[in-house]
Structure 1
Amino acid sequence: MNLDTNLFKIETNHVAPEKGRILIAEPFLPGSYFNRSIVFLVAHSDKGAIGFILNKKIDYPVNEILGDFPDFEADVYVGGPVSTDTIYFIHSLGQLIPGSIHVKDNMYWGGDFDEVKKLIREGLILPDQIRFFLGYSGWDNGQLEEEIKENSWLVSEINEDLVMVDRKTESMWVQAVRDIGGKYTLWENFPENPSLN
């Protein structure tokens, strides 16, 4: 029986990559970073793109990774393969954190990290208002668009609750594929490594 390989071809879905949208990895995208990942884009321009992987949680809270960080029960996620020795963050605190960059709706990227620590010490930041990442995902000008043409990524919308509040990392990729529907719902049934079947 012949397999219809069009199942894995991503049709141009009139959703362009831009800040505030997500990239959904095709089912067999190789590499430990991007395998079945959801990447939230925080920047996209003619200079390139920057994003953070939403569904690869690290088993250590932020205050165990950073020695001088206040006691705070917040998870850390693998943001991507670039600058993996640096903590980045997105949040829903707007201009409460100086230097924040608006991404979409009530979602912001970065800002004054010392102010974040101060606000946490004062009890003014809750864990569902901020997400921490080790490293980030980055693309040079045109690189992401080329990967999209090569069927590596499906671009979609995402709402703030899925980014900031509902952090079911194990099922996030499957749910994103289901939300798009059509032939993409078949992706969730393929094993991550077909050679092991």
Structure 2
Amino acid sequence: MEFFKYKNQLKPEKGRLLISEPFLPDPNFERTVVLLCEHNEEGSFGFVINKPSILKLSEVMEDIHLDDVVFVGGPVQQDTLHFLHRNTSIENAVKICNDIYWGGDFENLMTALDTSSLKSADLRFYLGYSGWGPGQLEKELEDDSWIVCDFVSDELLFDTNPTDIWKKALDNMGGRFSVYSNYPVDPRLN
């Protein structure tokens, strides 16, 4: 149906969101929002920002006594831990967009938490990441699996309830995307 063609006007790039289309059949990405941290001819990677795991950080890293929830960043290398934050003082952090940074010196991060110069509300941890090889994401965009969005804010990432991020991201786009945000998970139950 032509109604369900998104015809992405925006191209994927670092700092943009990939919002899964309402009925994406892939259970790894159902109703997900991915923050792209890199996109180039070699491929793309980012983190699913709205899928909390059942694990706490203290369960993932023995020496850390934070009970913050760890998020599932994606299906690739789920034995790796990554973090996004909104703190400009973390050394070697990579600016993704606006006030959102990826990684940096982990000891510096722990010191910032210990001294309260960084609050845990300004930080998200992710197990694994989402990755695409050369041309793979472009193919998925042609298949209308993703909606590209350039409305990215630290408020959406850090202050919004994770279960509301997918809907809020679509609502922020307005127009027909606001309609998509209200689609039921299973339309047969409507």
> What TM-score do you get using the length of structure 1 for normalisation?
0.87
Which residue does the alignment assign to 1:91? 85
Unaligned runs of 5+ in 2: none
Which residue does the alignment assign to 2:180? 187
Query: 1:93: how far off?
Result: 1.7
Q: How does 1:1-197 map to 2 (within 5 A)?
A: 5-13=1-9, 15-69=10-64, 71-94=65-88, 96-157=89-150, 158-164=152-158, 166-194=159-187
Query: 1:144: how far off?
Result: 1.0
Deviations 1:38-59, CA, capped at 9 Å, x for gaps = 1011111121111111111123
Query: 2: distance between equivalents of 1:10 and 1:127?
Result: 36
Query: 2: distance between equivalents of 1:27 and 1:12?
Result: 15
Confirm or deny: 8 A CA contact 1:40 1:51 kept in the other structure: yes
Deviations 1:122-151, CA, capped at 9 Å, x for gaps = 333201221111110011122111111110
Deviations 1:34-90, CA, capped at 9 Å, x for gaps = 001010111111211111111111233212221111x23422111000011111011
Which of 71-80 and 40-49 deviates more?
Answer: 71-80
Confirm or deny: 8 A CA contact 1:7 1:183 kept in the other structure: no
Per the alignment, in what secondary structure is the counterpart of residue 99 of structure 1?
coil
Q: Structure 1: which 4+ aligned runs deviate by more than 3 Å?
A: 193-197
Confirm or deny: 8 A CA contact 2:28 2:74 kept in the other structure: yes
Report the count of equivalent residues: 189
Query: 2: distance between equivalents of 1:90 and 1:65?
Result: 17
Confirm or deny: 8 A CA contact 1:7 1:184 kept in the other structure: no
Query: 2: distance between equivalents of 1:182 and 1:122?
Result: 44
Confirm or deny: 8 A CA contact 2:72 2:128 kept in the other structure: yes
Q: Which amino acid aligns with 1:122?
A: T
Per the alignment, in what secondary structure is the counterpart of residue 35 of structure 1?
coil
> What TM-score do you get using the length of structure 2 for normalisation?
0.90
Per the alignment, in what secondary structure is the counterpart of residue 170 of structure 2?
helix
Query: 1:196: how far off?
Result: 5.8
Query: 1: distance between equivalents of 2:160 and 2:59?
Result: 20
What do you get for the CA RMSD once the two structures are aligned?
Answer: 1.8
Query: 1:98: how far off?
Result: 2.4
Confirm or deny: 8 A CA contact 2:167 2:182 kept in the other structure: no
